[in-house]
Structure 1
Amino acid sequence: MNQPKRYLDIVLDIRKMIQQENLRPGDRIPSERELAERLEVGRSTVREALRSLELLGLIETRRGEGTFLSDHRNHRLVEVLSTFILQDNQSQNDVRETRLIHELAALKAICRNDVSSRLLVWDSFRSRLAEGSSFHREDFVKEMMVLSGNRLSLKIWFLLQQYSGKPFDGVVTEDEKEMINRILTAIEQQQTDTAIKEYMAWCDLLQKGRMQNDDNS
């Protein structure tokens, strides 16, 4: 029962060592043997800890050269997570629900902000809908996420949208225009509950359309 905890401790110890020694991307980190001696643990435990860090792209092993600290911006955590997220229907449902949580939070933030709710972009969207020009669904939702002001939520949303099959691909249909107009009106009038209700109805419509397309394919 103690092994999992010790294994996690080693991961934390290695990361702490990297910070304390002020290592930068491209710098070599101590070998498996050196780490085992410094941390006073078995090499097998160190090996597993290094494997997890390498899997996340935080370190990289170069044959014949050693192990080096990677640029964290290039880590493969997204790829690792995707192998789990897309493995069953329940996981896909979880992704969809989590994405919706971020979208509704953005919508609430905008409706409750006097400045954001009265931006000209909402009127611009309404004009585009009335003109009959191509109105991409993702443009509307992405603008909503950006204007909420939460940059972390925006980044998470981009990933969740990718994992849920990009549900806002394509242009708005005639059936959707009135629904989006109602969302825009609710935003401008700062009617949070109405905006959420209309937004969820729109998302339900899109989901049903996707399910029908899947059944027909």
Structure 2
Amino acid sequence: METKGVFMNQPKRYLNIVSEMRDMIREQDIRPGDRIPSERELAEKLAVGRSTIREALRSLELLGLIETRRGEGTFLADPRKHRLVELLATFILQDNKTLEDVRVTMCIHETAAIQAICASDAAKLPVWESFRERLDGHEFIREDFVRELMVLSGNRLSLKIWFLLKQYGGNPYDGEVTTEEKTLLKNILQAIEKQDAETAIRDFKAWSSVLIKGENAQWQ
């Protein structure tokens, strides 16, 4: 049987909880503006820990599907107020959509961010030297590196979409950079500083694809 990698093998429990909450809202005919069951009630009804419910609620709130009012509770939001978020939610919460689709979309935003950085003055910022120094240190979190690329691209909409996709699609950048990865990341930094988008994107895709396929286990 073909191995689909760490990303495709992410446990679906979290997405299942979100899906069950969605079904419950539909079954109870909860309308926009109505209060949804409390965290405790949801945990009891769905037979999961409150921490899992809390994380699911947080992500639904990020998508704009629910809203929390201090001292009042959590309410179902009107998705018509969030057209982009509604589109993402419709796609991401569909059970027949694969994690691979989400990851491909993440990659589009990541490589676009590198392209934008290389085409701007952001490529000359001192932050790249700071990254290099951190890579030479003891700890460097993969997600920090990618998130900073998204931030430095200057496209806040793309950053928002990327963050939402990462929340629902699993995080291939979880964990610390290994010694073997550092050389490739330094090559990416060097290419960015030279504003060589083609090389930076090529090396980034090589690094990212290894993580997605689970080959990072060979780097541990």
Alignment TM-score, normalising by the size of structure 2: 0.59
Asked whether 1:182 is paired with 2:192, we answer no
- Offset from partner CA, 1:29-69 (integer Å, 9 cap, x none): xxxxxxxxxxxxxxxxxxxxxx8xx87x7x2247xxxxxxx
Alignment-mate amino acid for residue 137 of structure 1: R
Equivalence map 1:56-95=2 (5 Å): 59-61=32-34, 74=67, 75=77, 77=86, 81-84=91-94, 87-88=95-96, 91-95=98-102
Q: Give the CA deviation at 1:79.
A: 6.2
Tell me the distance in 2 between the aligned counterparts of 1:109 and 1:193: 12
Partner of 1:101: 108
Q: Give the CA deviation at 1:83.
A: 2.8
Asked whether 1:122 is paired with 2:132, we answer no
CA 1:153–1:73: 2 relative to 1, 3 Å: farther
Q: Give the CA deviation at 1:119.
A: 1.0
- Offset from partner CA, 1:144-203 (integer Å, 9 cap, x none): 100101111000000111122111111001121011000000000000100010000000
Equivalence map 1:184-203=2 (5 Å): 184-203=189-208
Tell me the distance in 1 between the aligned counterparts of 2:118 and 2:66: 34
CA contact (8 A) 2:210 2:216 kept: no
Q: Give the CA deviation at 1:205.
A: 1.0
Unaligned runs of 5+ in 1: 1-50, 63-70
Asked whether 1:205 is paired with 2:210, we answer yes
**Paired residue secondary structure (1:195):** helix
1:140 corresponds, among 124, 145, 167, to 145
**Paired residue secondary structure (1:93):** helix
Identity of aligned residues (%): 47
**Paired residue secondary structure (2:176):** coil
CA 1:144–1:210: 2 relative to 1, 3 Å: same
Provide the alpha-carbon RMSD of the alignment.
2.8
Question: Which has the greater radius of gyration?
Answer: 1
Asked whether 1:110 is paired with 2:120, we answer no
Alignment-mate amino acid for residue 203 of structure 1: S
Tell me the distance in 2 between the aligned counterparts of 1:134 and 1:156: 27
Structure with more helix by fraction: 1
Tell me the distance in 1 between the aligned counterparts of 2:182 and 2:216: 20
Structure showing greater relative contact order (alpha-carbon pairs closer than 8 Å, 6 or more residues apart) = 2
